[in-house]
Amino acid sequence: MLKDLSQKPLISILVLIFSTVIVLSTPPEDPIKCSNSQNTTCTITNSYGMFPDRTICQASQVFYPTSEQELVSMVASASREKIKVKVATRYSHSVPKLVCPEDSNGILISTKYLNKVVKIDVEEKTITLESGVTLKQIINEASKNGLALPYTPYWYGLTIGGMIGTGAHGSTLSGKGSAVHDYVVEIRIVRPSDSDDGYAKVEILNEQNNEDFNAAKVSLGVLGVISQVTLKLEPIFKRSITYVAKSDSDLGDQVVSFGHEHEFADISWYPSQHKAMYRVDDRVPINTSGNGLYDFIPFRPTPSIALAAIRITEDLDEFTGNVDGKCRVAKLTTNILFKSAYGLTNNGIIFTGYPVIGFHNRLQSSGSCLDSHQDAKITTCAWDSRIKGEFFQQSTFRVSLSKVKNFIEDIQKLVQLVPKGLCGIEQYNGILMRYVTASSAYLGNQEDALDFDITYYRSKDPMAPRLYEDILEEIEQIGIFKYGGLPHWGKNRNVAFEGVFKKYKDIEKFLKVKEKYDSQGLFSSTWTDQVLGIKEGVTILKNGCALEGLCICSQDSHCNPSKGYFCRPGKIYKDARVCSRV
């Protein structure tokens, strides 16, 4: 039985990897659905088709502006009528309910058609974008003009409005820092106002109005609608990338110096395999030969039949408690990804060996499952909710560089106690560790830190515990509470946001700007009020809530006693409360 289960993914992963390079994929579904062509009575979800609490959000109407002028009139009429508003994007990537209007009376303003590059100034090295422009467009337009945005997220479907909405980042300790918002030189934002201003006002923010600018650089969408963003670029350059596999025995000692040694460093960590993959990634002279391309394998179009086979195996392994099967799949996945250089090629076609050298724009970000024609869902992005594919949760938080060694060692202690406890996350390519930097944005990073991105199985049944549920819950609580980790605003389960506002030294300054820009709170919702500390109740208490990361368990019913899971202290962090199999 075990053998059968572990062979299925072998076949399907191979199919997945070798067939995805030649096919085009069905593009992701629109996250907004309306009941008629007037775009009224609508729903919105995220790109995974599921918010943390599994609800679907509603809106009375969706508007699709194509210019700043139209934006102004939409915000003015919402402000005059005192209607709640949220800004939505083409794909709606953020996991938490940032995009949800307060209730079904609220409206959505979508930036889907605010998708034009307004201006590129080659002399000044700046680019001005409408807020729905994607990272892919930014990269392409900049490179056509010999320019580059140096540090970006690894997925190019994100919009500029969404990236600065949640503080999206790449990985570096260099330059102005790792986050896109640290390269913003001007923001045009349309906000509600009083009748003297015609109920809406365009604010132009830059270093001259520092306080407002620092608030708008990461705003969670609560200050108004960002109309345009101007970014500072630099001349295009080349990079050289080599992945080096090492034992993780000295990982805690290595991480800080590794981040300082290599400009684009990151590390993928596979704790159960005691292995870490160091990405040695640096700038090289522009005349170095090489035309490498990064088309990250998990972001490629993937055959839905392979995705279904993998998911069925994962469901079965979870259901039958087949830990060894999960560990085998984890190893296999890691090996295949490593052998195929994670999707790097030396020339856009094949991988012939390290280093892979190429222009920054071809290496910095990918997402080929987005670039597609309809193919009747034969291939899709792996997490497309219309097919039986990946369905997962994500805990993503950053731990200060001064504490990161201790955090890594705590995880290693847990692995010593429960050696197979983290195989599940290695099926999702382990823990991605990226370097992030302190920012002047009020809701940006507070200090230089290492970001831990952990992806793991989520059952379709909210009451079904995950294998080694307790280990992941403990790691999440150690990172967030013992070491004061800061959650990514656009990822995570509710527990990660408990008391988060207290971790921002300038939260009061942010709230002051919010009050000035939107005193009626039209762009706010219960969720944004909760994470900003205006209202109580980030966590939701109900049966099974801890299994979904909606709460930290305080009683057994928050786990699932009928399946043998009870609320217990952590194994090494005694303040943790986790759902353990007893």
Ligand X SMILES: Cc1cc2nc3c(=O)[nH]c(=O)nc-3n(C[C@H](O)[C@H](O)[C@H](O)COP(=O)(O)OP(=O)(O)OC[C@H]3O[C@@H](n4cnc5c(N)ncnc54)[C@H](O)[C@@H]3O)c2cc1C
Q: Which two tokens stand for residue 500?
A: 């988060």
The residues, ordered by sequence, that sit 6+ positions from 458 with a Cβ below 8 Å of its Cβ are: 391, 392, 393, 466
* Between 225 and 231, CB nearer to ligand X: 225
- Residue 341: CB minimum distance to ligand X, A: 19
CB atoms inside a 10 Å sphere around CB 551: 21
- Give the DSSP H or E segment for 455: strand 449-457
Cis peptide preceding 355, ω within 30 of 0 = yes
Draw the binding track, 135-174, toward ligand X (x: CB under 6 A; -: no contact). Answer: ------------------xxx--xx-xxx-xx-xx-----
Residue closer to ligand X (CB basis): 272 or 396: 396
Q: Please report, as residue ranges, which positions from 83 to 142 form the binding site for ligand X (by CB under 6 A).
A: 86-89, 91-94, 98-99, 111, 131
* Cβ neighbourhood burial of 35 (10 Å; 0-12, 13-18, 19+): exposed
Task: Please report how close the Cβ of residue 10 comes to ligand X at its closest, in angstroms.
Answer: 25
Least distance to ligand X, CB of residue 303, Å: 18
Q: Nearest approach, Cβ of 246 to ligand X (angstroms)?
A: 23
Question: From the CB of 475, what's the least distance to ligand X, in Å?
Answer: 20
CB of 135 to ligand X, least distance (A): 8
The residue (of 154 and 407) whose beta carbon lies closer to ligand X is 154
Q: Reduce the DSSP state of residue 128 to 3 states and report it.
A: strand
Q: Which range binds ligand X by CB under 6 A, 257-265, 488-496, 539-547, 556-564?
A: 488-496
User: 476 Cβ partners below 8 Å, 6+ apart?
Assistant: 395, 397, 454, 493, 495, 496, 549
Contacts of 563-572 with CB under 8 Å at 24 or more apart are 563/463, 563/464, 563/465, 565/465, 565/469, 568/470, 570/470, 570/473, 570/474, 570/477, 570/478, 571/414, 571/417, 571/418, 571/470, 571/471, 571/474, 572/410, 572/413, 572/414, 572/417, 572/474, 572/478
Task: List the alpha helices (DSSP H) in 57-134.
Answer: 68-81
**In the beta sheet, which residues pair with residue 203?**
189
At its nearest, how many Å lie between ligand X and the CB of residue 433?
Answer: 12
Q: Which is nearer to ligand X, 60 or 166 (CB)?
A: 166
User: CB-wise, 99 or 276, nearer to ligand X?
Assistant: 99
**Which residue, 233 or 436, has its beta carbon nearer to ligand X?**
436
Cβ 163 to ligand X shortest distance, Å:
6
Query: 32-34 and 40-44 as β-strands: parallel, antiparallel, unpaired?
Result: antiparallel
Report, in Å, the least distance between residue 67 CB and ligand X. Answer: 13
Rounded to whole angstroms, the Cα distance separating 295 from 304 reads 19
- Among candidate residues 264, 205, 139, the one with its CA nearest the CA of residue 441: 205
Residue 498 and residue 480: Cα distance in Å, rounded?
Answer: 9
Contact 102, 84 (CB under 8 A): yes
d(C-alpha 420, C-alpha 272), whole Å: 6
**Minimum distance of ligand X from residue 91's CB (angstroms):** 5
| CB of 453 vs ligand X, minimal distance in Å | 8
Neighbours of 359 (CB within 10 A): 18
B/e letters for 503-521, b = 16+ CB within 10 Å, e = fewer, are ebebbeebbebbeebbeeb
CB of 497 to ligand X, least distance (A): 14
Over the window 185 to 224, marking each residue x when it contacts ligand X by CB under 6 A and - when it does not, the resulting string is -----------------------------------xx---
Which C-beta is closer to ligand X: that of 166 or that of 272? 166
Rounded to a whole number of angstroms, the minimum distance from the CB of residue 8 to ligand X is 25
Q: Is 25 in the site for ligand X (CB under 6 A)?
A: no
For the bound state, the minimum distance from the C-beta of residue 151 to ligand X, rounded and expressed in Å, comes to: 10
How many residues bind ligand X (CB under 6 A)? The answer is 32
- In the bound state with ligand X, the residue whose beta carbon lies nearer, of 111 and 368, is 111
CB closer to ligand X out of 191 and 326: 191
Residue type at 532 in one-letter notation: L
Other beta carbons within 10 angstroms of residue 383's beta carbon come to 20
Separation of first and last alpha carbons in the chain: 25
Quick one: 5 or 387, whose CB is closer to ligand X? 387
Q: Give the chain's length.
A: 582
Interacting residues with ligand X between 221 and 250 (CB under 6 A): 221, 225-226
* Least distance between ligand X and beta carbon 174 (Å): 17
The torsion angles phi and psi of 242, rounded to 5 degrees, stand at -135, 130
Between 119 and 542, name the residue whose CB sits nearer to ligand X: 119
* Rounded-to-integer distance, Cα 473 and Cα 549, Å: 8
Chain centre distance of CA 296: 15
Segments in 190-289 forming alpha helices (H): 210-216, 251-261
Q: Report the C-alpha gap between 441 and 477 in whole angstroms.
A: 26
Is 24 strand, coil or helix? Answer: coil
- Of 7 and 206, which CB lies nearer to ligand X in the complex structure? 206
> At 412, which helix (H) or strand (E)?
helix 404-417
Q: Which is nearer to ligand X, 140 or 291 (CB)?
A: 140
Q: How far apart are CA 180 and CA 131, in angstroms?
A: 13
CB nearer ligand X, residue 225 or residue 431: 225
The binding track of 35-54 with respect to ligand X, each residue x by CB under 6 A or -, is ------------x-------
Cβ nearer to ligand X, comparing 187 with 323: 187
Residues engaged in binding ligand X (CB under 6 A)? 47, 86-89, 91-94, 98-99, 111, 131, 153-155, 158-159, 161-163, 165-166, 168-169, 220-221, 225-226, 488, 490-491
